[in-house]
Structure 1
Amino acid sequence: MMKKLIAAVILPFTLSAQATVVEIQTNLGTIEVNLFDNATPETVENFLAYVNNGSYNGSIMHRLEPNFVLQGGGYVYNGSDTLTGIETAPPVVNEPVYSNVRGTIAMAKLSGNPDSATVQWFINLENNSANLDVQNGGFTVFGQVTAGMDIVDTIAAFDIFNFGGSLGQLPLRDYTEEDFNGDPDNNIDPVTPDSTNFIIVENLVITDATVDTASGLNPTPNTLIDNVSEEPFSESTKTGAIPLSALLLSILAFWRRRV
């Protein structure tokens, strides 16, 4: 039986550092990201608020779109049968300055609302500029992976499983179709994923608080922003905040999936 969903508690959003470089420390290795403090200040401040509050610690990479994006920042793994949705602060203004090319990190948001980014973020696995630079006011790129892209590619090679709702493309390691489906003929239930299967962001750590460290990088500018597209890409890839009812349904499907 699914345990009661418990909302994560977010402390007051006060920055303890104006950082530029952070490490996304996963259970598969570390991904270093250089933030664009000067070019996208509102988005960086928003992201660092969650970092400084520890909101991302213990969260999972909950969505993988092969050859497109790897997304995190939505749910924290609290045990063998509990996923907790990260509580969100108010949305941040869109800042579509740079292009969604491979290795950049950007904010997810709601369809049809450019200024709706809150807590969820994604790493571009390929050059997605033709799509994401023009869609929904452009997706805000606020940093660049400077080390550990090999870790991102390792994660991007894992199999994905459909547990429903926002967990419809969940990447898991050391997990098989037999684990997912179980064996109804022999009354064997599916295997519940755990810490050995999830890709977990164990910590996000500030490693350099110098605001202008991005000056040594050459991010690609978004030159397509004037070409606005109304064609949405999947809601769950863009959603920073999910209604509680939808989250409950997706978690219920997660734990009670049957063939």
Structure 2
Amino acid sequence: MFSSLKKSKFIAGALLGAALSLSTVANATVVEVRTNVGNFQINLFDQETPETVENFLSYVNSGSYANAVFHRSVPGFVLQGGGFAYNNTFPPNSIAAGSPVVNEPVLSNVRGTIAMAKVGGNPNSATNQWFVNAVNNAGNLDNQNGGFTVFGQVLGDGMDVVDEILALNRFNYGSPFDTLPLKDFTAEQASSGAEPTGDNLIVISDIVVIDSTVVTNPNLNPVRNTTVDAGGDDGDSDSGGSVGWLLVSVMSLFAIRKRMIAR
């Protein structure tokens, strides 16, 4: 009996130690997103969302994100990229996507977090597209379509760069470029048929790993997703039209949001 008690205490202690260890090693690899507007760094949550981080880093390490553009800008919601690249032709070309990654909706979609975009009605459909949460979207995205997987967080003043991009004028060149952020480009140019160039598009020159230490930024305390339905889709994942690898599960919510704030 004494032996069993000692074993129970040992197991309990081991579990506690593992839990404490997990809470402090939840944050690891740091990457830098380098754009023609400015750079920002992202702390990836390797321990919390290992499959998603591995998937993201596979695109980073292969150079797939070189010349990627932010093709979708919705102030008060998200800034999205990773699916298209500018190679001196407009519109940008699709970036080759690998196999979908399993959904890992353990963290909350609060402002400054990075999450995977996916196909509506399919929680396990994320590939190469990702977005930055411009605001706290927990109420919108933590439970829809199985929950959107948060796998990183913008560090320091990096959101200043994101906010600068979100503040740019947006232009409609048809889906998926119907909310395309452009700099040094006017409505007159757009109406005259002028095509944006690399000087106008928000181009990611590269995403590079700048710190692969096992424990980086241990003081970060990512908010956990406590509302996701383990059953997956909540039924509100359909949207009109074929919009490809976008946040299709929240398009209807989008329209409602825009109507509410429109003057």
Partner of 2:111: 102
Partner of 1:39: 48
Counterpart check, 1:216 vs 2:245? no
Structure 1, unaligned runs of 5 or more: 1-18, 183-189, 241-259
Structure 2, unaligned runs of 5 or more: 1-27, 248-263
Aligned length in residues:
215
Residue 136 of structure 1 deviates from its aligned partner by 0.2
CA distance in 1: counterparts of 2:80 and 2:226, whole angstroms: 24
Question: Quick one: structure 1 residues 71 and 77, their matched pair in 2 at CA, closer, same or farther if it must change by over 3 Å?
Answer: same
1:63–1:70 CA contact under 8 A, matched in 2: yes
Q: Residues 47-91 of structure 1: CA distance to partner in whole angstroms, max 9, x if unpaired?
A: 000000000011100001110000000111000446221001100
CA distance in 1: counterparts of 2:238 and 2:117, whole angstroms: 11
Counterpart check, 1:63 vs 2:72? yes
Partner of 1:152: 162
Partner of 2:246: 239
Partner of 2:96: 87
Give the SS at the match of 1:71. strand
Partner of 2:5: none
Partner of 1:207: 210
Counterpart check, 1:50 vs 2:62? no
1:38–1:211 CA contact under 8 A, matched in 2: no
Residue 142 of structure 1 deviates from its aligned partner by 0.1
Residue 237 of structure 1 deviates from its aligned partner by 8.1
Residue 213 of structure 1 deviates from its aligned partner by 1.8
Residue 191 of structure 1 deviates from its aligned partner by 1.2
1:38–1:212 CA contact under 8 A, matched in 2: no
Structure 2 counterpart of 1:181, from 179, 191, 195: 191
Question: Quick one: structure 1 residues 75 and 107, their matched pair in 2 at CA, closer, same or farther if it must change by over 3 Å?
Answer: same
The alignment's TM-score, normalised by the length of structure 2, stands at 0.78
- RMSD after superposition: 1.8
Partner of 1:124: 133
Give the SS at the match of 1:61. strand
Identity %: 53
Residue 196 of structure 1 deviates from its aligned partner by 1.2
Larger helix proportion of the pair = 2
Instruction: In structure 1, give the amino acid aligned to 2:204.
Output: V
Counterpart check, 1:198 vs 2:201? yes
The alignment's TM-score, normalised by the length of structure 1, stands at 0.79
Instruction: In structure 1, give the amino acid aligned to 2:205.
Output: E
Counterpart check, 1:138 vs 2:147? yes
Structure 2 counterpart of 1:229, from 226, 230, 234: 234
Residue 232 of structure 1 deviates from its aligned partner by 2.7
